[in-house]
Amino acid sequence: MTAPANTAALAEVQDLPEAEAAKAVKDSRPLRLITCGSVDDGKSTLIGRLLWDTKAVKEDQAAALSRDSGKQNDLGLPDFALLLDGLQAEREQGITIDVAYRYFSTDRRSFIVADTPGHEQYTRNMATGASTADLAVLLVDARAGLLEQTRRHATIASLMGIKQFVLAVNKFDLVSYDKSVFDRISHEFKELALSLGVRQITAIPMSALKGENVVYGASTIMPWYDGPTLVQALELATIRTATAGGFRLPVQRVSRPGESFRGYQGTVAGGSIKPGDSVAILPSGMVANVKQIVTFDLVRNAAVAGDAITLVLDRQVDVSRGDMIASLDGQPMTGLGFDAQLVALQPGGIEPGKRYWLKAGSRRQRVVVQPVSQLELSSGKWKPHAETLAMNAIGKVRLSFDELAVFDTYEQNRATGAFILIDPDTNNTVAGGMVTAKRSDLGGIHREGERVLLSLPADLAEELMASEAFAARRDDVDIRRISGQRSNEIFETPD
Ligand SMILES: Nc1nc2c(ncn2[C@@H]2O[C@H](COP(=O)(O)OP(=O)(O)OP(=O)(O)O)[C@@H](O)[C@H]2O)c(=O)[nH]1
């Protein structure tokens, strides 16, 4: 099929119901998507095709492509996958090995696509791409249907909070555009998606190579299909708002250029703030009001998520790098124990009971990880009592900290609910994960050298410190207050 001119395709897109079209036009933020699937399903070809047909390929790039490739496909078109070969290693090995971001746009919307690799050992890059995406395009080869790798990627994408999937049933030209193949694969996929809690699913039969149902429709070849093209599905997808909750500023730096000025710098990770608003400094729980919001060169009257700011408070408080400044209403969770889900990224896996470094934003803390269960990809079920989580395994774990940690759930805030684990022996990143809930542990008991450290809510800590029992143990027990938190609040926090 010869692709029609680009404008003709966009005219087709504009035939969408008015309300939907208005919604799509209004959204000026780019939609972020990932493409994933097994090796050779055609991801690179699909992205190349998207870039080509939306005219995102610059003329010089296009010329270079024709010159360079010498490899035209059987349709006499350039090999689109070559558009994506940014990395030398990729050319050498003929595979995609890192996350590459590409940009394209239509009249309706702009898009950022993360091309994530299909090889098993690169699950980590897939997780990286998925952590910021609004939508996942999962590719399958129409001849092969869903594979274990498709299931793994769909699972990671859903764990990363992606709620919209497009199933691209690719290479449809190789199955004679057979409707029954499409029905079977899309049915199987819908079952998988539903088991993952994903309800917004669009399955599209397509040929990335020939450009059918990617940007241009293919009604003459597949008259039985009356759904959207890939681009139409992307234009109508919703952009997930990263944060539903309150203001969050993970403090990256304390700025003290002179005696009279002290500001706390970082990038707003959620919500908004204006002068006069009350904030809590976590984990200490101290409270202050915002005096001034300063950016690179001006004083602002408000800041929102994504802004890099310096916050000046109205009083002297103890704030250091790694602390979180949050709105007083709707604070993040502070505690010593959290439930999380993670993906193990290194050959050694995750060892139960080992102390790792947890890095979340500007904060780095010691943590002990206890696997609770592991996802069995073939059945989609959680198997209890996981011991080690091997590489690529997806597990539910308990995180236990020595010192108070501050998190939102990933569901509520992707910036303040996500973390990576670092092996202190090798400095390798061994897992990427998301916090799912706070555990209602009542404080914690830890040993630091000869001394025992008891972390308790403020009221219990005070009670204990006043007791005679404690007076006798003063030399070997330290009591630490979990400030701002009282025991009844902890007991009432749902697990
Ligand atoms: N017939 C046909 N071939 C296709 C189609 N899409 C991709 N291919 C071919 O399938 C092969 C693999 O495509 P790629 O785009 O390199 O696959 P990939 O999934 O990106 O593979 P990796 O980068 O190795 O993960 C290439 O030879 C493509 O030309 C299609 O729709 N129809």
226 among the known binding-site residues?
Answer: no
pLDDT at 381: 76
Q: Provide the pLDDT for residue 18.
A: 44
pLDDT band of residue 12 (cuts 50, 70, 90) is: very low
Residue among 44, 87, 149, 176 whose CB has most ligand 1 atoms within 8 A, to mutate: 44
pLDDT on residue 15:
37
Q: Note the pLDDT tens digit of each residue in 354-400.
A: 899 998 888 899 999 989 888 887 777 788 866 788 887 888 999 99
> What residue owns the CA closest to ligand 1's atom 7?
42
Of 36, 82, 209, 222, the one to substitute when testing ligand 1's pocket (max ligand atoms within 8 A of C-beta) is 209
> Whole domain around residue 379: which residue ranges?
333-443
27 & 47 share domain: yes
ipTM of the complex: 0.97
Q: Is the pTM of this model over 0.80?
A: no
131 Cα to the center of ligand 1, angstroms = 25
Query: Is 448 within a domain?
Result: no
pLDDT in tens, 108-138: 899 988 776 555 445 555 555 566 788 999 9
Q: What percent of the chain has pLDDT over 90?
A: 31
CATH code at position 176: 3.40.50.300
pLDDT of residue 75: 53
Of 211 and 131, the one with more pLDDT: 211
Q: Are residues 323 and 337 in the same domain?
A: no
Q: How far apart are alpha carbons 134 and 341 in whole angstroms?
A: 19
- Which of residues 289, 309, 327 is at a domain's end? 327
Question: What torsion do the CA atoms of 125, 128, 133, 137 make, to the nearest 10 degrees?
Answer: 20
Q: How many Å separate Cα 171 from the centre of its chain?
A: 29
CATH code: domain of residue 314: 2.40.30.10
* Residue 238, marked binder: no
- The answer to whether 272 and 305 have CB atoms below 8 angstroms apart is yes
Is residue 481 included in any domain, yes or no? Answer: yes
Domain boundary among 327, 354, 387: 327
Total domains in the fold of the chain: 4
Closest CA to 345 of 410, 419, 401, 286: 419
Q: Per the structure block, which two tokens stand in for 400?
A: 């236990």
**β-pairing verdict for 418-422 and 355-360:** antiparallel
Rounded to the nearest angstrom, the distance between the alpha carbon of 207 and the centre of ligand 1 is 10
Q: Are residues 16 and 70 in the same domain?
A: yes
DSSP three-state, residue 67: helix
How confident is the model at residue 142, as a pLDDT? 97
* Among 190, 211, 236, residue at a domain's last position: 236
Q: Is residue 278 situated within a structural domain?
A: yes
Q: What are phi and psi of 33, to 5 degrees?
A: -135, 155
Strands 164-170 and 200-205, bridge-based pairing: parallel
For residue 490, what pLDDT is reported?
Answer: 47
pLDDT for 233 equals: 96
Whether residues 277 and 381 share a domain: the answer is no
Q: Are residues 365 and 289 in the same domain?
A: no
Q: Output the residue whose Cα is nearest ligand 1's atom 32.
A: 171
Residue nearest to atom 13 of ligand 1 (CA): 42
